[in-house]
Amino acid sequence: MTALQREDIQAAADRFASDARGFIRTTPLWKLPGAALGISCAEVWLKLEHLQVAGSFKARGMYNRLLSNPIPASGVIVASGGNAGIATAAAARALGAPCEVFVPTVSSSAKQEKLRELGAQVVVTGAVYAEALEACLARQQQTGALLTHAYDQAEVVAGAGTIAMEIEAQGGEPPDSVLVSVGGGGLVAGIAAWFEDRSAVIALEPELAPTLHRARELGQPVDVTVSGIAADSLGARRVGAIAWDVAQRHVRDALLLSDPAIRAAQLTLWREFKLAVEPAAALGLAALQRGAYVPKGDEIVALVLCGANLDPATLA
């Protein structure tokens, strides 16, 4: 496997910049004093990636994948807990291609409804992402559609890495640390590949979906049982090969958060800052609130609010 390079991320950014459709958005970076969030550090930067097209960072990787490859008449196909599917469906619609999405039963009804609104053919199968992926791969062999993987393709990870490029450009410098939610690891891999060791990249996972954490314990990716509040976004059973490669070189630590801590942070972001994000986007704040990650007093910490595909009623 060829290691992901910063040049791959730059190439993805160049594709987005030259795309006449303007599909990918440059999302805001909100700089707050640490005290505004009750954190003893200089600043907390919130990268508002939940405002991205299709409601999550996944749009970057999926669009880069589609722009980088010829799309057959059978269109594109993907397995997803929801966000990667929504992003693929939106990207396919922008390019005029049909899209088929396989989702597990754990995928939220809000995400399934959004997929159908985008014109995707939705197949609900399997209890978890890995089972939906197995069915998706079998279907792809039949149709020859272009496969987009939720987190383990070079173009997908490079697209996610453009978030780190934007953080650095908008901040004027790399932050001291970046806290990143992990499912299959595409997002943390892209961000870590860009920053390399210029920022401390910290991976965050739910206690009930510890894919990277468990891999680091055992020295290799392994299957884990996944469940919990963020399983529809962070429910990959095994960390991706690209993420594992990058994480061994450029991810400082992999920390675990409880579901109650994630939920409390999600509600804080809504009640205090009116940021409506899904649980997967709240792990960064949860790590700071619960002391899983303790920054230095003069530290600049960046949090990536990675998605907002949720039922707003759950924030009541």
Instruction: Give the model's pLDDT for residue 101.
Output: 96
> What is the greatest pairwise CA distance in the chain?
56
Domain positions in the chain are 6-57+158-315, 58-148
Residue 248 tokens, joined:
């061994």
Read off the pTM.
Answer: 0.94
Q: Is 99 left (phi over 0), alpha (psi -120 to 50) or beta?
A: beta
Tokens of 129: 């992402």
3-state secondary structure of 79: strand
Residues 6+ apart with CB under 8 A from 143: 74, 77, 100
The whole-number pLDDT of residue 203 equals 98
Predicted confidence at residue 50, as pLDDT, reads: 97
Residues in Cβ contact with 120 at an 8 Å cutoff, skipping those fewer than 6 apart: 85, 88, 89, 92, 99, 100, 101
Q: Does domain 6-57+158-315 have CATH number 3.90.226.10?
A: no
User: How far apart, in Å, do the first and last CA atoms of the chain sit?
Assistant: 46
User: How far apart are the C-alpha atoms of 287 and 172, rounded to whole Å?
Assistant: 25
- Minimal CA–CA distance to 183: which of 134, 137, 216, 150? 150
What DSSP line would sit under 166-229, residue for residue?
A: HHHHHHSS--SEEEEE-SSSHHHHHHHHHHTTSSEEEEEEETT--HHHHHHHHTS-------ST
pLDDT, one tens digit for every residue, the chain (316 residues): 457 999 999 999 999 999 989 999 999 999 999 999 999 999 999 999 999 999 999 999 999 999 999 999 999 999 987 789 999 999 999 999 999 999 999 888 888 988 999 999 999 999 888 899 999 999 999 999 999 999 999 999 999 999 999 999 999 999 999 999 999 999 999 999 999 999 999 999 999 999 999 999 999 999 999 999 998 889 888 999 999 999 999 999 999 999 999 999 999 999 999 999 999 999 999 999 999 999 999 999 999 999 998 888 899 7
CA distance 99 to 116: 10
Res 2: pLDDT:
56
pLDDT for the residue numbered 219: 96
Phi, psi at residue 117, to the nearest 5°? -60, -30
Return the pLDDT at 233.
Answer: 86
- Class of domain 58-148 (CATH, top level): alpha beta
Q: Is it true that 6-57+158-315 and 58-148 share their CATH fold?
A: yes
CA 247/CA 252 separation, integer angstroms: 8
The Cα–Cα gap between 216 and 208 comes to: 16
